Amino acid sequence: MEPYTIKNLPELLSFYLGNSKSIKKFEVSRLTAPGENFGSVMLKVDILLTNNKTGGEEMLYAVAKMLPESELFRKIFKVQETFLNEMAFYEIIVPTLHDFQRRVGVTNVLDCFSECLATRKNLLGGSCIIDDDAVLIFENLMADGFINIDRFEGFDLDTTQLILRDMALFHAVPLALRMKKPEVFRNYIEPYCSRFREGQDIMDPMIRASEAVLKENKAVASWAYKVNESFYKPRCASREPFVTLIHTDLWTNNTMQKFVDRKPVANKFIDFQGFYYGSPASDLLFFLWSSVPKEVLELHFDDLIKYYYDHFIKAVNDHSFIDSRLNFQNFMREIEIEFEYEFGHALVYCLTVVSSKAGSRNMNELGTPEDYLKRITLKEKENAWFIVRDSERRGWLKK
């Protein structure tokens, strides 16, 4: 597929640029290494713009998200569904949430998403088929100082709290919308929420590798079977009153942060290919276990849950909705229920996705359990063993 190109870029960006600016030239290059993003190809797009009135020039730094190069991963990630849904997220869902916030008097609307400049399904005209010309164009957050932290290190306490504040608001706004304007939620949110789950052919080797890691430690070996059972357990129907919009894949690679004097000051969530409506406890557990190191969780796990909840309930109330059922005791019950599904999800990702280095995967083949086991470090094993021991201590693990 190299050299990389984006067909008809001036036409694609015409609405965003309007009549005042035009594209003089642009350069496209790979943004991330092969193996960093399995569900898409991410391209860096540097665009030189001309002001049509003054003749002056300026740079527009953008990112393009395109289909995976491999047909295998196009099938695995169900691109005909996930790309359409992600386009709808930025074109329909985000404006719907912002409109709701403004109508209830909130002036500082959700700002934890990158700006989407343009989308295209194909060049066929009037068709909803996703093909090789499908693309989403975003602002390049790196040009504004945002970075992805090292997923092998995870987030420190301050950065974790920053992300949890945004996560709480992201969950609270659709929940308040659903309760106050159920018809709006049904018409503008729910139609684009389809449960994405990787196929068994790609996940089974990851699950077997994760089970093997647990069996290495006698203290947790008896729970190895629970990984497979949890990962494939059919989810029960979403429960009132906590049902809301959830990301389903919130981990280090799908968040970006800006730092000033080494302090985290802003956060963005990215990659909305698999969003769904469900329990906020699902996102919370997966994020904490997949992205926050054991050293932080050992000291602050309970505090971080309470920190998230306090910001969540405040945000719900700020959007003119109060429901006594949304109390902390019920939220902890929600966490215990979601644990049954997120335990396997988080362990598999911790051990086989977070640990996977860029370029370490053949993008045209599925990995084997042995492939994954060779890449898992002692630190990652210890993180997984901690999750099991801590969950057992809390009484969440049940035979």
Residue type, 309: Y
- The answer on pLDDT for 1 being more than 50 is no
- Rounded average pLDDT over 384-395: 97
- pLDDT above 70 covers a percentage of the chain that reads 96
User: Which H or E run includes 23?
Assistant: strand 21-30
- Cα 314 to the center of its chain, rounded Å: 23
Q: Which residue has the higher pLDDT, 8 or 363?
A: 8
Residue 368 included in any domain: yes
Q: pLDDT category, 200, cuts 50, 70, 90?
A: confident
Smallest Cα–Cα separation from 9: which of 137, 160, 106?
Answer: 137
Which comes out higher in pLDDT, residue 25 or 367? Answer: 25
Of 217, 331, 225, 327, the closest CA to residue 285 belongs to: 331
Closest CA to 293 of 155, 193, 170, 396: 155
Name the DSSP class of 113.
Answer: B
Answer yes or no: is 344 within a domain: yes
**What's the mean per-residue pLDDT of the chain?**
93
Question: For residues 108 and 299, which has the higher predicted lDDT (pLDDT)?
Answer: 299
At 46, list the tokens.
């540097």
Average pLDDT over every residue of 217-233: 95
Cβ neighbours around 17 below 10 Å, total = 18
- Residue 330's domain spans which residues? 78-112+150-393
pLDDT value of residue 364: 56
- pLDDT above 80 for 362: no
- pLDDT computed for residue 201 by the predictor: 79
**35 falls in which pLDDT band (50, 70, 90)?**
low
Residue 238 within a domain = yes
How does pLDDT run across 58-99, given as a tens digit for each residue?
A: 999 999 999 998 888 888 889 999 999 999 999 999 999 999
- Residue 229 pLDDT exceeds 80: yes
Q: Token digits for 143? A: 């040009």
Quote the percentage of the chain above a pLDDT of 90.
82
Task: Identify whether 132 is part of a domain.
Answer: no
Q: What is the pTM of this model?
A: 0.94
Residue 174 located in a structural domain: yes
User: What is the CATH classification number for the domain harbouring 201?
Assistant: 3.90.1200
pLDDT for 357: 62
Overall average pLDDT of the 47-62 stretch = 97
Beta pairing partners, 30? 43
What is the tens place of the pLDDT at every residue in 309-356? Answer: 999 999 999 999 999 999 999 999 999 999 999 999 999 999 998 876
Residue 262 lies in a domain: yes
- The answer to whether residue 65 is domain-embedded is no
144-190: pLDDT as tens digits? 999 999 999 999 999 999 999 999 999 999 999 999 999 999 999 99
Residue 153 one-letter amino acid = E
- Number of structural domains the chain divides into: 1
For residue 240, the model assigns a pLDDT of 93
Q: What is the pLDDT of residue 36?
A: 67
Count the Cβ atoms, other than its own, within 10 Å of residue 15.
Answer: 9
Strand spans (E) along 31-179: 41-51, 57-66, 116-120, 135-139, 146-147
Residue 356, C-beta contacts closer than 8 angstroms, at least 6 positions apart: 35, 372, 375
Tell me whether residue 23 is in a domain: no
For residue 213, give the amino acid letter. Answer: V
Mean pLDDT of 33-53: 87
| pLDDT at residue 384 in the model | 96
* C-alpha separations of 309 from 103, 276, 314, 330 in Å: 24, 20, 8, 11
